[in-house]
Structures are given as structure tokens and as C-alpha cells.
């Protein structure tokens, strides 16, 4: 469904009226397209404190001065005390207003040092700073904090955040480890030669994920329930992939996936999910159990089975779909919120072991209000509240979730592990 309010605020009368009434003024977001694959402007490099990061190794085209930058990279990894935070203000204060509409601000921090509470305090302060700046910067611009242990390992993350692909990701804190990564031969098609399986891929967000992974070179397996077999086949044929009709809640789903993929799997995306909303006082046991079974139990079972069988190859990626409802809670969704919070718990617990034992990373995305057929059916005032209650004052698109998953699935994202990244335009709900 079209966002008529967004269209109205793009007109002269709309801008005048919303400004006079103090209403949100969302800016159209600059998303990736083959015609516009970059932000199309300077990437301004600033520093605060003394940094040891070798940003030249990332291959980013950094400049030291620009009157109208498309993006700003502030390296604050060397800030170790409260006094050093003054450099953060001094660096960004003069340039924030000049960042182009739809631009990006990325702050580089450092891992917290448990032996130095002054450094930890200063680096934690960067989190509050970036989240707050994200809520005030406006004009479709985003602000994120990255804590890299190694600059080269963060290249895929920085490329993502400094591209139109990250249009709906803001206010996030992303940890990047020191694991050695290998750059792909072709950054435009990094998944060439890899196989990706997406559950619930016959429609909606899952279809967008499958399409984006195929765009990046993957051979995609479109998995959905037998009732959606015809739609799954259409998607698979369009993408040059294959369809797999399977109820993901079947006890042997993992074994059946492994049998269907004898050559192995590189990317597993857990997207399938359902809602059965009702307040707890009115919720029968069946509504509770069905949501937990699809959204969480099946994810646990199939992940365990595919790791144990070795179907997910070394260097593989597991990306699960959580939700801001699981992070912040939502009335009428105790079952859904529990299931999606469980996904986050799965990621944080399994990630270090899966990497150590199988060479596989485990991450999650947590979508906010995404424009789908499901949200189009939400009553008008609730739908409008969902759209406006974020720093970008608009709903996201399925492709926003898909692009974030594609970044986590990237072969050069091997140092990104155990992360739950919100794709919510920096929702005002929760952390």
C-alpha cells in the first residue's frame, strides 16, 4: 500500500503544512538500484583521538575535506577518556548540517576494555551519542556505530553501511571481530558459486531475500509449505533457482533439507514465520504453541540438524529473522514476542560455538514496521503510528530486510558473528 503521507510531504503544500503543524517530515530514502548503486558523493574521513586502525586497507575512497559529503566516517576508536569525547563533538559539529540528504554517518569505536573503566565509559558513550544523533539528523540520513577489532575485517560492513543498501538501518551498534576474511573476486556478485536456502520464500520478505541473494550470485533454494508450492515454483523459476515444498515444522525437516542438498549449503536464512495475535488473557494454548513451533522450535531443530550433518559448509552463514517485537515487546503478541526473543537468544549462544566448531557464522535481523500485505491490513491509525514511530518517519520495504541479510551472508562478513541487527529505521520502541 502506498504511503500517501510520505508522498504528500514531498509537495510544496505538504512541506508547508507539516512544518507549521510540527508533524513528521519523512524524506524519500535512497535505495540501491542498478542505475544508482552508490550514494554518489564524497566519503569524508574524520578522526577523534589517536587511532591504530588502517582504514586504507578497506579500499574505501576516503577524503579529508568536502563541502557536501554523501557520507562521513568518524574514527573514534582511539577515544579513551571523557576528554577525548570533546574531539567527537569538534569533528562532527561543523559538518553534520552539510551531509547530503539520504547520507550516512558511521562512527568507528573500539571494543570495550574490561581492564580500563575510563576507556569503557568513553566508548560506551559513543553508543548513546550515535543513537541520539540518529534521532535528530533527519532528511533520510542514518547514523550507526561499528566496533571493529580489525579494519580489514570490517570492509564488508562499511561497504554496506556506506551504500544505498542500508537505507533503513540506523541507530545500530555492530561488533566486528578480528577474524581473517577474504574479499570476493567480484564485490557486485559475492555469492557466485554459493547455494542459499530461504524458508518462507514464496512471498513477502522471503521472496525479496531470495531475489537479493540471487542478484548477488547465489543459487537459491526457495522453501515454503506445500500449500504455497505453485508460488514457490514461480519465484524459483524467475530467479533461476529451485523450489522445495516442505513444512519446516516437520520433525525430520532438517534431514529432508540435507537430502535435497547433497552438495551442501552455504547460506541458510530462517525467514518463515507466523503471527496469531491476541492478548494473553484471551489466548488459547493452540495460538501460543503454533507460533512458538514455527518461529522458534523449527529454527532450532533444523539448524541443529544441518550443522550436525555438515550440510552447512565451512564458511557458511546462518541468518535468522527476529523482530523488534521480541526486543521491545508488543501488546497482543506475547507468543510472537517470545518466539522472536528466543531467536535472538539462539543467535547469541550458538554463534561462538558454530564458528569454532563448524566455521559458520550465526546472526539475525530484527525488522520493524515493513510494508507488506500483512501490515497493509492493519487498521489505518495503527499502521500510521507504525510508519512514523522511527527516526526516518516511514515504513521499511522487504528489500531493506533482504539487503541486510545479504550483507550478513557475504563471504567477507565472516568477522560479523552473534549480532542482532534491527532493520527498523531506528524505531522509537525499545533499545
Give the burial string for 19-36 (b: 16+ CB within 10 Å, else e): eeeeebbbbebbbbeeee
Q: How far is the C-alpha of 395 from the C-alpha of 400, rounded, in Å?
A: 10
CA distance 51 to 180: 20
* Main-chain phi, psi angles of 106, to 5 degrees: -120, 125
Enumerate residues 6+ apart whose C-beta is below 8 A from 72.
43, 44, 46, 92, 95, 96, 99, 103, 104, 105, 106
Of the candidates 129, 162, 168, 336, the residue annotated as catalytic is: 336
Cell 508450492 belongs to 229
Name every residue whose Cβ is closer than 8 Å to that of residue 194 and which is 6 or more positions away in sequence: 217, 218, 219, 266, 267, 411
Q: Which three cell numbers stand for residue 148?
A: 571493529
Q: Which cell goes with 82?
A: 571523557
3-class SS string, 243-294: EEECCCCCCCHHHHHHHHCCCCEEEEEECCCCCCCCCHHHCCHHHHHHHHHH
The secondary element (H helix, E strand) that includes residue 308 is helix 298-308
What is the SS3 assignment for 427? strand
Residue 305, helix vs strand vs coil: helix
Strands (E) located in 118-162: 142-148
336 is an active site residue: yes
Beta-bridged to residue 390, according to DSSP, are 427
Query: In this structure, what C-alpha cell is assigned to residue 182?
Result: 577474504
Active site residues: 336
Amino acid at each position: 500500500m502506498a504511503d500517501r503521507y510520505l508522498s504528500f510531504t514531498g509537495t510544496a503544500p505538504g512541506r508547508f503544512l507539516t512544518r507549521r503543524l510540527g508533524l513528521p517530515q519523512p524524506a524519500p530514502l535512497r535505495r540501491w538500484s542498478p542505475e544508482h548503486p552508490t550514494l554518489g558523493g564524497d566519503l569524508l574521513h574524520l578522526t577523534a583521538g589517536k587511532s591504530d586502525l588502517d582504514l586504507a586497507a578497506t579500499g574505501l575512497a576516503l577524503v579529508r575535506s568536502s563541502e557536501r559529503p554523501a557520507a562521513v566516517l568518524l574514527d573514534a576508536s582511539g577515544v579513551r577518556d571523557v576528554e577525548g569525547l570533546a574531539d567527537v563533538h569538534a569533528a562532527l559539529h561543523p559538518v553534520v548540517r552539510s551531509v547530503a540528504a539520504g547520507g550516512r554517518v558511521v562512527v568507528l569505536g573500539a571494543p570495550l576494555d574490561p581492564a580500563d573503566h575510563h576507556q569503557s565509559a568513553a566508548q560506551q558513550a559513543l553508543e548513546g551519542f550515535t543513537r541520539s544523533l540518529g534521532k535528530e539528523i533527519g532528511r533520510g540520513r542514518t547514523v550507526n556505530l561499528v566496533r571493529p577489532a580489525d579494519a580489514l575485517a570490517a570492509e564488508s560492513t562499511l561497504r554496506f553501511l556506506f551504500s544505498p543498501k542500508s537505507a533503513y538501518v540506523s541507530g545500530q551498534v555492530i561488533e566486528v571481530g578480528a577474524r581473517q576474511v577474504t574479499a570476493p573476486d567480484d564485490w557486485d556478485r559475492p555469492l557466485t558459486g554459493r547455494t542459499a536456502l530461504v524458508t518462507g520464500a514464496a512471498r513477502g520478505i522471503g521472496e525479496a531475500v531470495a531475489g537479493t541473494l540471487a542478484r548477488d550470485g547465489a543459487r537459491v533454494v526457495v522453501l515454503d509449505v506445500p500449500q504455497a508450492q505453485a508460488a514457490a515454483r514461480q519465484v524459483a523459476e524467475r530467479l533461476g533457482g529451485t523450489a522445495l515444498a516442505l513444512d519446516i515444522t516437520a520433525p525430520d525437516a532438517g534431514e529432508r533439507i540435507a537430502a535435497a542438498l547433497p552438495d551442501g549449503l552455504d547460506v541458510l536464512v530462517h525467514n518463515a514465520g507466523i503471527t496469531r495475535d491476541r492478548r494473553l488473557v484471551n489466548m488459547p494454548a493452540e495460538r501460543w504453541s503454533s507460533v512458538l513451533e514455527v518461529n522458534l522450535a523449527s529454527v532450532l531443530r533444523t539448524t541443529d540438524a544441518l550443522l550436525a550433518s555438515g550440510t552447512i559448509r565451512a564458511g557458511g552463514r546462518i541468518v535468522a529473522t527476529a523482530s523488534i517485537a521480541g526486543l521491545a515487546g508488543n501488546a497482543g503478541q506475547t507468543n510472537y514476542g517470545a518466539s522472536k526473543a528466543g531467536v535472538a537468544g539462539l543467535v547469541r549462544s550458538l554463534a561462538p560455538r558454530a564458528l569454532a566448531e563448524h566455521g559458520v557464522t550465526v546472526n539475525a535481523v530484527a525488522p520493524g514496521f515493513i510494508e507488506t500485505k500483512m501490515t497493509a491490513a492493519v487498521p489505518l491509525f495503527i499502521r500510521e503510528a507504525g510508519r512514523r514511530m522511527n527516526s526516518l518517519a516511514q515504513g521499511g520495504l522487504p528489500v531493506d530486510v533482504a539487503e541486510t541479510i545479504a550483507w550478513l551472508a557475504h563471504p567477507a562478513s565472516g568477522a560479523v558473528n552473534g549480532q542482532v541487527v534491527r532493520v527498523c529505521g531506528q524505531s522509537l520502541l525499545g533499545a
